[in-house]
Structure 1
């Protein structure tokens, strides 16, 4: 699980971009793609390589009026799944 002080970032070659054909957003990596729903896109919009996971959760909680603990659990699960598939890197 990503700790509150760790900083997630998209590695080189991975990017989020609009899907002009189907609408919505996609996460692209060399020879791989993941279609993002609105929640996934909102989480990745906060991942800039400088904000810690704790800061990301606080911003999302404020933006959506949700408990920060619930945001941390949901966003952490999503980001960990991306990390396992090498779509995301985390630094201390």
Structure 2
């Protein structure tokens, strides 16, 4: 997974929702409001950057965060289980 390139699953659309003042994932049956950590990760997914690239960006933004790489990897595993993401 670390060298893999994640993409948002085609069944979902990531967008900023002004009414909730939060990033959300929209899908045919509803919406998932994302917490700040999930949004930090998912908004970096562009179909070009690998998981390693995203981790490097987050490490640069949050240099004092502990276990950041492990947390990001766990998030990607969880997001894939929920079908929020795929890999190309």
Normalised to the residue count of structure 1, the TM-score between the two structures is 0.82
RMSD: 1.7
| SS of equivalent residue, structure 2 residue 59 | helix
Structure 2 CA distance for aligned equivalents of residues 48 and 56 of structure 1: 10
Alignment partners' CA distance in 2, 1:41 and 1:58 = 16
SS at match of 1:46: coil
Q: Number of aligned residue pairs: give it.
A: 88
Distance in 1 between the 2:59 and 2:33 partners?
A: 23
Q: Do the aligned partners of 2:2 and 2:73 also contact (CA within 8 Å) in 1?
A: no
Mapped partners of 1:12, 1:53: distance in 2? 19
Task: Give structure 2 stretches of 5+ with no counterpart.
Answer: none
Aligned counterpart, 1:86: 83
TM-score normalised by structure 2 residue count? 0.85
